[in-house]
Amino acid sequence: MVPPGWVRGPGPPAHPAQSRPGATPAPPTRRDRRAAGPVVSPPVRLVLASASPARLATLRSAGFAPDVVVSDVDEAAALEAAPGDAGPADQVLLLSRAKARDVARRDTARDALVVGCDSMLELDGAVHGKPADAAEAVARWRRMRGRSGVLHTGHWIVDTRGPEARETGGVSSTTVHFADLSDAEITAYVATGEPLAVAGAFTVDGLGGPFVRRVEGDHHGVVGISLPLLRELLGELGVQVTDLWRG
Confidence at residue 81, expressed as pLDDT on a 0 to 100 scale = 82
Q: Is the pLDDT of residue 16 over 60?
A: no
- 33 within some domain: no
Output the pTM of the full model.
Answer: 0.81
In-domain check, residue 2:
no
List, for residues 80-110, the tens digit of each pLDDT value. Answer: 888 878 899 999 999 999 999 999 999 999 9
- Least confidently predicted of 11-20, 68-77, 100-109, 215-224: 11-20
Residue 160 sits at the vertex; the CA angle it makes with 156 and 163, to the nearest 5 degrees, is: 135
pLDDT tens for each residue of 47-93:
999 999 999 999 999 999 999 999 999 998 998 888 878 899 999 99
Residue 136 lies in a domain: yes
**Catalytic positions, please?**
118
In a domain, 245, yes or no: no
Tens of pLDDT, residue by residue over 159-168, are: 999 999 999 9
Strands 212-216 and 46-48: unpaired
Q: CA–CA separation, 159 vs 149, rounded Å?
A: 33
Task: Assess if residue 181 is contained within a domain.
Answer: yes
Would 34 be classed as within a structural domain? no
Q: Output the 3-class SS for 11-48.
A: CCCCCHHHHCCCCCCCCCCHHHHHHHCCCCCCCCCEEE
Tens digits of per-residue pLDDT, 128-152? 999 999 999 999 999 999 999 999 9
Q: Whole domain around residue 126: which residue ranges?
A: 46-240
CATH number at residue 101: 3.90.950.10
Position 76: which residue type?
A: A
User: Does residue 32 form part of some domain?
Assistant: no
- Comparing C-alpha atoms, which of 236, 50, 62, 243 is closest to residue 153? 50
Measured CA to CA, the distance from residue 38 to residue 36 in angstroms comes to: 7
Average model confidence (pLDDT) across the chain: 86
Distance CA 12, CA 24 (A): 19
Lowest mean pLDDT among 14-18, 148-152, 217-221, 229-233: 14-18
How many angstroms separate the Cα of 97 from the Cα of each of 88, 101, 127, 245? 14, 6, 18, 24
Confidence at residue 212, expressed as pLDDT on a 0 to 100 scale: 97
- Structural domains counted in the chain: 1
Given a cut of 90, whether residue 184 has pLDDT beyond it is yes
In the prediction, which pLDDT does 125 show? Answer: 85
Q: Round to whole Å and give the CA distance between 62 and 51.
A: 18
Checking if the pLDDT of 111 tops 50, the result is yes
Residue 103 domain-assigned (yes or no): yes
CB 202, CB 122: distance < 8 Å: no
pLDDT at site 17: 39
Half-sphere exposure of 167 (CA within 13 A, CB side): 21
CA atoms within 13 A on the CB side of 108: 12
Question: What span, in angstroms and rounded, lies between the C-alpha atoms of 57 and 44?
Answer: 19
How many other C-beta atoms are found inside a 10 Å radius of the C-beta of residue 241? 17
